[in-house]
Homo-oligomer: A and B are copies of this chain.
Amino acid sequence: MRVSQFFLSTLKEAPAEAELVSHRLMLRAGFIKRLGSGLYTWMPLGLRVLRKVEAVVREEMNRAGALELLMPAVQPAELWQETGRWDKFGPQMLKIKDRHEREFCFGPTHEEVITDMARREIKSYRQLPLNFYQIQTKFRDEIRPRFGVMRAREFMMKDAYSFHTDFASLQQTYQVMYAAYSRIFTRLGLEFRAVAADTGAIGGSGSHEFHVLADSGEDAIAYCPDSDYAANVELAEAVAPDATLPEPGQDINKVATPNQHSIEEVAAFLNLPVTQLVKTLVVEQGDGVVALLVRGDHQLNEIKAAKLLGVDEIRFASDAEVREVTGCAPGSIGPVGLTVRVVADRSVAVMADFVCGANEAGYHFTGVNFGRDLPLPEVADIRNAVAGDASPDGKGVLAMCRGIEVGHIFQLRTNYSAPMACQYLDEQGKTQVAEMGCYGIGVSRIVAAAIEQNFDARGMTLPVALAPFSIAIVPVGYQKSEQVREVADKLYAELVASGIDVLLDDRNERPGVMFADMELIGMPHRVVIGERGLKDGMVEYQGRTDTAATSVSLLDIHTHVMQILQK
């Protein structure tokens, strides 16, 4: 493509409201233009990137045996009422009434539609397993759309749904999808991790999120550099310390800690490491409260605690409730002498001679020991895992990173097929409910996530698999020097003939402007052709992240570029 016949529309500055690097760069590079809140037009340059993602996703889904179809974006309310999600989905669902006042939605996802199709089409176990997918525009009416296409309202998604006779078949396809997703992100040149995810209210045994790693990621991920283990911090198990409860070494002692409010302040005042302290958190359960104990340097994991207590969400006790149970305001409370249920985190359960609040304002106990000063507690994993914890798979220690969720695979089991009666006849002629899986990829979000992972001060540094073009030819003086023009046109024609996606900057612009544009839009490779070099039969090659250009003979440049691109 020649720039003169394309539509480059770069900006020096991004609009002020763009907070995220990817949003700023996509606007500056002219990848996208904002139409309204959470609504973006993909301009020709950005669409090339989106289509590259789409093509890789499609190829790998096909290779994995999934069958592409295309369901309507507009879906009748009746199907959602069958699963109860018409009311439960909430205001993210964009509801619509047609000219006859019938209710529809702009599909935020397609479980109901595909299950309706499947229950009409699947008659026999002989037809199973089946895995259908589509690549399609979805709409979720986010309350605060932001970050450009990272959290847009209208977005492009690949969603797949599989149907099975039994759980074993579902697990097999789940593994096939897991492998396909790994190939997709690998081929796109992205650093990613598959992360064990919460199966939430749906239950079922398996769910993984695929995260592109980036410092700006919304999700904190605990992973083991020595193994495949990775989990959202909210879910990562904090394994029990490889230790038993030591014998007491100190007597219990009440000490004054005046005006020391935080754990850090108390530790500093007592000249003790914060790891020697125990935090007591009082939360509600039913009519009463429970005291949860975590080590001073740890954070309570509210999801784990909620599961333990059998509630949807943790609610902390009010100051009045805390006072009623402990006789003291929060800040100096502790487990000694409490008559309510006490649950200690696994790390707390192996602490001796620890410090905790004395249930008296301005006082703490030191030298506290389980089994002597208070009963041996109930023990559970109720904290966030931290870097340095043993990996739950026993293969090393955990490290932490941040990620952007771009894929999610899920064993749905019969959560949709049972209420919608998606059934088949088994070998004995008996009616059975199909097992289901679902597998999503945020196609448009991948573009933003890839940029969050690949940028520098000058713009995007996209992998070749994702860049709008593979290589830029930048002739200095294309419109003025016949020699430059001839050489540039010839190299352009040769590379196009070799099947390379080339962008020839044939504008009448200063070199600085062209270089800045090519760097901003993330061109991975660049060949500069100028009269000065051509005197010696040389042109310049530079990779996007190279610190300097390399002189290459004009005779070798085609081969040189092909070799680099084939790497």
Please report A residues at the B interface, Cβ cutoff 8 Å: 5-7, 9, 33, 35-36, 39-44, 47, 50, 65, 67-76, 91, 94, 96, 98-99, 104, 106, 113, 116-117, 120-121, 127, 130, 132, 136-137, 139, 141, 143, 153-154
Tell me the complex Cα distance, A42–B106, Å. Answer: 17
In the complex, which residue of chain B has the Cβ closest to the Cβ of A62?
B1
Residue contact A35 to B137, C-beta cutoff 8 Å: no
Contact for A41 among B71, B76, B96, CB less than 8 A: B71
Residue contact B113 to A33, C-beta cutoff 8 Å: no
CB of A214 to closest CB in B, whole Å: 25
Residue contact B69 to A117, C-beta cutoff 8 Å: no
Known: A96-B106, A98-B141, A116-B35. A132 touches B44 (CB 8 A): yes
Contact for A43 among B69, B91, B96, CB less than 8 A: B69
Residue contact B7 to A130, C-beta cutoff 8 Å: yes
CB of A133 to closest CB in B, whole Å: 10
* Complex A-B: 7 CB contacts under 8 Å: A35-B117, A36-B104, A39-B75, A41-B69, A74-B154, A96-B106, A98-B141
Residue contact B106 to A99, C-beta cutoff 8 Å: no
Tell me the complex Cα distance, A136–B154, Å. Answer: 13
Residue contact A71 to B120, C-beta cutoff 8 Å: no
Known: A44-B132, A143-B99. A113 touches B35 (CB 8 A): yes
CB of A436 to closest CB in B, whole Å: 16
Residue contact B99 to A137, C-beta cutoff 8 Å: no
Residue contact A36 to B73, C-beta cutoff 8 Å: no
Tell me the complex Cα distance, A40–B70, Å. Answer: 9
Residue contact A71 to B35, C-beta cutoff 8 Å: yes
Contact for A76 among B36, B136, B137, CB less than 8 A: B36
In the complex, which residue of chain B has the Cβ closest to the Cβ of A130?
B7
> In the complex, which residues of chain B have a beta carbon less than 8 angstroms from the beta carbon of A7?
67, 121, 127, 130, 132
Tell me the complex Cα distance, A70–B53, Å. Answer: 15
In the complex, which residue of chain B has the Cβ closest to the Cβ of A127?
B7
Tell me the complex Cα distance, A30–B427, Å. Answer: 25
Tell me the complex Cα distance, A116–B258, Å. Answer: 64
> In the complex, which residues of chain B have a beta carbon less than 8 angstroms from the beta carbon of A75?
35-36, 39
> In the complex, which residues of chain B have a beta carbon less than 8 angstroms from the beta carbon of A9?
121
Tell me the complex Cα distance, A43–B70, Å. Answer: 7
CB of A420 to closest CB in B, whole Å: 14
Contact for A47 among B65, B68, B94, B127, CB less than 8 A: B68
> In the complex, which residues of chain B have a beta carbon less than 8 angstroms from the beta carbon of A130?
7
Residue contact B70 to A42, C-beta cutoff 8 Å: yes
CB of A335 to closest CB in B, whole Å: 45
Residue contact A65 to B139, C-beta cutoff 8 Å: no
Tell me the complex Cα distance, A69–B35, Å. Answer: 13
Most chain B beta-carbon contacts within 10 A, residue among A65, A106, A130, A132: A106
In the complex, which residue of chain B has the Cβ closest to the Cβ of A35?
B72
Residue contact B39 to A99, C-beta cutoff 8 Å: no
Tell me the complex Cα distance, A6–B127, Å. Answer: 10
> In the complex, which residues of chain B have a beta carbon less than 8 angstroms from the beta carbon of A6?
67
Contact for A33 among B35, B47, B120, B139, CB less than 8 A: B120
Tell me the complex Cα distance, A306–B9, Å. Answer: 47
Residue contact B121 to A73, C-beta cutoff 8 Å: no
Residue contact A39 to B72, C-beta cutoff 8 Å: yes
In the complex, which residue of chain B has the Cβ closest to the Cβ of A139?
B74
Known: A44-B67, A74-B106, A137-B73. A96 touches B94 (CB 8 A): yes
Tell me the complex Cα distance, A486–B515, Å. Answer: 58
Residue contact A91 to B99, C-beta cutoff 8 Å: yes
> In the complex, which residues of chain B have a beta carbon less than 8 angstroms from the beta carbon of A94?
74, 96, 98
> In the complex, which residues of chain B have a beta carbon less than 8 angstroms from the beta carbon of A104?
36
> In the complex, which residues of chain B have a beta carbon less than 8 angstroms from the beta carbon of A98?
94, 141, 153
> In the complex, which residues of chain B have a beta carbon less than 8 angstroms from the beta carbon of A141?
98-99
Tell me the complex Cα distance, A238–B417, Å. Answer: 62
Residue contact B69 to A42, C-beta cutoff 8 Å: yes
Contact for A106 among B40, B50, B106, B127, CB less than 8 A: B106
CB of A385 to closest CB in B, whole Å: 36
> In the complex, which residues of chain B have a beta carbon less than 8 angstroms from the beta carbon of A91?
99
Contact for A44 among B68, B99, B127, B154, CB less than 8 A: B68
> In the complex, which residues of chain B have a beta carbon less than 8 angstroms from the beta carbon of A74?
39, 94, 106, 139, 153-154
> In the complex, which residues of chain B have a beta carbon less than 8 angstroms from the beta carbon of A41?
69-72, 113, 117
Residue contact B47 to A70, C-beta cutoff 8 Å: yes
Known: A106-B106, A137-B137, A141-B99. A72 touches B121 (CB 8 A): no
Tell me the complex Cα distance, A143–B102, Å. Answer: 13
